[in-house]
């Protein structure tokens, strides 16, 4: 294991983004190496094997709830401007734990997320400390998805669950983990509306799904960029905030020669239950994972108490 760990630590991939699958093996080896050498990561990933879950049926699909105490770091994170300004950025290389290693890939670094939700969970920060934003870097997300096609690559907007809104980053996780992706494959023929179709691209929308989800399917990255730009501008106009990023969460994957991009527009950061008192509080800070169908709560009592009506209420507050 020592030989493998040293090899991974010294890896510097200078290949251009977008080589299909080129990162799969490096990511898997980094994951194995970090679990061997980093006690925090090993403990938290081992904890996932016994994490408690329960499911709520919405008829044609389900939402899972996961009790994951290690996620208190993210769920309870303060992301106000004052807190962000006063703390060191934990995604910048200079401030990371000494045990946390990386794989370089273009302008990004692949890191094992030590507070996981997915059985394999990575954080992918930009090498520069620049704000979390998607419009200039949407193509990067797609190219990362292509290069890591064993995984999903996803994005939390700066007011949509990102615990480091001051540092551009994506995340990646086990491909078949989020119910939304599997629901789409299963329900596409019966639960979608085809909004736009061209020779190169389809834009669809899930219907009767408790939150609005748009899906771009295309084998051409330019077509995906064009479709996303139109949606982005539409959301911006609807919010009347053209100078700031519209609230959204994104999931991307590359499969069978095509990109699949799930765009989930948002209307609120956190639900009222997050700051409620005593027996009404549910410490759930919705991000891509929650809107993808896995609600994570780090508090055992909240896990025991949450109901289907609570999930419906939270989704109604934060999504369309």
Residues 6+ apart with CB under 8 A from 97: 38, 40, 114
- Is the domain spanning 2-57+90-174 CATH 3.30.428? The answer is yes
Question: What value does the mean pLDDT take over residues 48-66?
Answer: 94
pLDDT-derived band at 120 (thresholds 50, 70, 90) equals: very high
Question: What value does the mean pLDDT take over residues 215-244?
Answer: 86
Task: Check: CB of residue 287 under 8 Å from CB of residue 156.
Answer: yes
Determine the pLDDT at residue 244: 77
Residue 1 has pLDDT above 90, yes or no: no
Token pair recorded at residue 35: 């679990």
pLDDT-derived band at 240 (thresholds 50, 70, 90) equals: low
Determine the pLDDT at residue 38: 97
Determine the pLDDT at residue 78: 65
Question: What value does the mean pLDDT take over residues 173-201?
Answer: 95
Residue 73's SS3 state is helix
Determine the pLDDT at residue 28: 96
Closest CA to 205 of 221, 226, 227, 223: 227
Sign of CA dihedral 27, 29, 32, 36: negative
Task: Check: CB of residue 21 under 8 Å from CB of residue 253.
Answer: no
Task: Check: CB of residue 222 under 8 Å from CB of residue 236.
Answer: no
Determine the pLDDT at residue 11: 42
Continuous segment of H or E residues that includes residue 2 = helix 2-9
How do residues 269-284 score in pLDDT, each as one tens digit?
A: 999 999 998 889 999 9
Determine the pLDDT at residue 2: 37
pLDDT-derived band at 116 (thresholds 50, 70, 90) equals: very high
Q: What percentage of residues in the chain have a pLDDT greater than 90? A: 81
Determine the pLDDT at residue 237: 76
Q: Which residue has the higher pLDDT, 239 or 62?
A: 62
Question: What value does the mean pLDDT take over residues 113-118?
Answer: 95
Question: What value does the mean pLDDT take over residues 243-249?
Answer: 86
Residue 107 has pLDDT above 50, yes or no: yes
pLDDT-derived band at 69 (thresholds 50, 70, 90) equals: confident
Q: What is the mean pLDDT of the chain?
A: 90
Residue 318 has pLDDT above 50, yes or no: yes
Residue 77 has pLDDT above 70, yes or no: no
Residue 74 has pLDDT above 50, yes or no: yes
């Amino acid at each position: 294991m020592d030989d493998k760990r040293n090899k991974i630590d010294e890896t510097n991939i200078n290949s251009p983004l977008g080589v299909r699958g080129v990162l799969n093996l490096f990511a898997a080896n980094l994951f194995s190496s970090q679990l061997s050498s980093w006690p925090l990561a090993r403990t938290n990933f081992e904890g996932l094997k016994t994490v408690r879950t329960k499911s709520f049926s919405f008829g044609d699909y389900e939402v899972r709830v996961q009790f994951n105490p290690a996620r208190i770091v993210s769920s309870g994170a303060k992301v106000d401007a004052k807190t962000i300004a006063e703390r060191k950025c934990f995604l910048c290389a200079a401030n990371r734990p000494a045990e946390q290693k990386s794989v370089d890939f273009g302008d990004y670094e692949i890191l094992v997320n030590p507070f996981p939700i997915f059985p394999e969970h990575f954080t992918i920060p930009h090498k520069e400390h620049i704000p979390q934003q998607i419009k200039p870097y949407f193509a990067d997300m797609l190219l990362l998805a292509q290069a890591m096609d064993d995984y999903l690559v996803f994005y939390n907007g700066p007011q949509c669950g990102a615990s480091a809104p001051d540092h551009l980053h994506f995340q990646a996780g086990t491909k078949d983990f989020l119910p939304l992706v599997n629901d789409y494959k299963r329900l596409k023929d019966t639960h979608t509306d085809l909004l736009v179709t061209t020779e190169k691209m389809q834009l669809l929308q899930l219907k009767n799904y408790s939150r609005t989800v748009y899906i771009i399917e295309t084998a051409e990255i330019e077509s995906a960029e064009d479709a996303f730009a139109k949606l982005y501008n539409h959301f911006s106009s609807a919010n009347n905030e053209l100078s700031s990023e519209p609230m959204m969460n994104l999931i991307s994957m590359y499969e069978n020669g095509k990109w699949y991009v799930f765009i989930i527009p948002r209307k609120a950061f956190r639900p009222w239950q997050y700051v409620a008192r005593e027996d009404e509080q549910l410490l759930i800070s919705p991000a891509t994972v929650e809107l993808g169908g896995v609600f994570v709560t780090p508090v055992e009592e909240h896990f025991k108490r949450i109901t289907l009506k609570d999930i419906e209420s939270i989704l109604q507050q934060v999504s369309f």
